[in-house]
Structure 1
Amino acid sequence: MTINDKFYRLITKELTDGLSREEANMLQLEMQKDKSSEKRQKQISHFWNFFFPQTKQHNIISKTEKKLGFTYHSGRENKLWKRLGIAATLLLVVSIGAYILTPRQHTTLNEYRCDVGEQKKVVLSDGTQVWLNSISYIVANEPFIGDTREVILFGEAYFEVAPNPDQPFIVKTPMLSTKVLGTKFNIAAMNPHARQEISLYEGKVELITDNKAHQSIIMKPGEKAFFSPESGEIEVLRTTLGKPAQWREGILYLYNEDLFSIALKLERRFKTKIFITDPAVGRLRYTAEFENEPLERIIKILCEAKAFAYEKTEGGFIIKSK
Structure 2
Amino acid sequence: MTKKDNINELIVKKLTDTINEEDNERLNNKLDKHKSTARSYSVIETFWRSYFPKSKKHSIIQQTEKKLGFTYQKSPKTSKWKWVGIAATLLLIISMAFSIHYLIEKSKAPTLNQYSCSAEEIKEITLSDGTKVWLNSSSLLIASEPFIGIKREVTLFGEAYFEVAPNPEKPFIIETSNLKTKVLGTHFNVVAYPTDDIHEISLYEGKVQLNPNTNNNTAILNPGDRAYYNVNTGKMKLLHTDLGKPAQWRDGILRFYDEDLFSISKKLERHFETRIFITDSVTGNMKYSGEFEEESLERILELLSVAKTFEYKINNNGIIIESKK
Give TM class, smaller chain. Answer: 0.7 to 0.9
Query: Gapped runs of 5+ residues in structure 2?
Result: none
- Contact 1:80–1:192, Cα closer than 8 Å, also in 2: no
CA–CA separation in structure 2 for the residues paired with 1:58 and 1:256: 33
Q: Equivalences for 1:266-281 in 2 at 5 Å?
A: 266-281=268-283
**What is the match of residue 62 of structure 2?**
65
Residues 191, 6 of structure 1: alpha-carbon distance in 2 compared, 3 angstrom cutoff? closer
**What is the match of residue 292 of structure 2?**
290
Match of 1:196 among 196, 199, 202: 199
Residues 1:255 and 2:257 are matched in the alignment:
yes
- Contact 1:88–1:172, Cα closer than 8 Å, also in 2: no
Residues 1:164 and 2:167 are matched in the alignment:
yes
Any idea what the Cα deviations from partners look like across 1:150-175, whole Å, max 9, x if unmatched? Answer: 11111111110111111111111121
Amino acid at match of 2:200: E
CA–CA separation in structure 2 for the residues paired with 1:5 and 1:227: 31
Any idea what the Cα deviations from partners look like across 1:104-154, whole Å, max 9, x if unmatched? Answer: 431111000111111110111111111111111101111111222111111
Match of 2:121 among 118, 121, 134: 118
CA–CA separation in structure 2 for the residues paired with 1:302 and 1:270: 16
**What is the match of residue 245 of structure 1?**
247
> What SS does structure 2 have at the residue aligned with 1:272?
coil
Does 292-301 or 143-152 show the bigger shift? 292-301
Residues 215, 9 of structure 1: alpha-carbon distance in 2 compared, 3 angstrom cutoff? farther
Does 284-293 or 154-163 show the bigger shift? 284-293
Any idea what the Cα deviations from partners look like across 1:199-243, whole Å, max 9, x if unmatched? Answer: 1110011111000x2221000001111111111111111111111
Q: Equivalences for 1:142-221 in 2 at 5 Å?
A: 142-211=145-214, 213-221=215-223
Residues 168, 273 of structure 1: alpha-carbon distance in 2 compared, 3 angstrom cutoff? same
CA–CA separation in structure 2 for the residues paired with 1:271 and 1:94: 31
Q: Equivalences for 1:103-114 in 2 at 5 Å?
A: 104-114=107-117
**What is the match of residue 317 of structure 1?**
319
Any idea what the Cα deviations from partners look like across 1:292-321, whole Å, max 9, x if unmatched? Answer: 222222222222333222222232221112
Match of 1:98 among 99, 102, 105: 102
Residues 129, 20 of structure 1: alpha-carbon distance in 2 compared, 3 angstrom cutoff? closer
Q: What is the deviation of 1:259?
A: 1.4
Identity in percent: 42
Residues 11, 77 of structure 1: alpha-carbon distance in 2 compared, 3 angstrom cutoff? farther
Amino acid at match of 1:236: L
Residues 194, 75 of structure 1: alpha-carbon distance in 2 compared, 3 angstrom cutoff? closer
Residues 124, 11 of structure 1: alpha-carbon distance in 2 compared, 3 angstrom cutoff? farther
- Contact 2:100–2:144, Cα closer than 8 Å, also in 1: yes
**What is the match of residue 14 of structure 1?**
13
Question: Aligned pair count?
Answer: 311
Q: What is the deviation of 1:192?
A: 3.2
Superposition TM-score, scaled by structure 1 size: 0.84
Residues 306, 5 of structure 1: alpha-carbon distance in 2 compared, 3 angstrom cutoff? farther
CA–CA separation in structure 1 for the residues paired with 2:136 and 2:254: 12
Match of 1:44 among 34, 40, 44: 40
Q: What is the deviation of 1:287?
A: 2.4
Any idea what the Cα deviations from partners look like across 1:172-199, whole Å, max 9, x if unmatched? Answer: 1121111111100111122434211111
Query: Gapped runs of 5+ residues in structure 1?
Result: 32-36
CA–CA separation in structure 2 for the residues paired with 1:47 and 1:75: 26
Amino acid at match of 1:239: T
- Contact 1:114–1:120, Cα closer than 8 Å, also in 2: yes
Superposition TM-score, scaled by structure 2 size: 0.83
RMSD: 3.3
> What SS does structure 2 have at the residue aligned with 1:301?
helix
Q: What is the deviation of 1:79?
A: 6.4
CA–CA separation in structure 1 for the residues paired with 2:34 and 2:81: 29
> What SS does structure 2 have at the residue aligned with 1:64?
helix
- Contact 2:60–2:317, Cα closer than 8 Å, also in 1: no
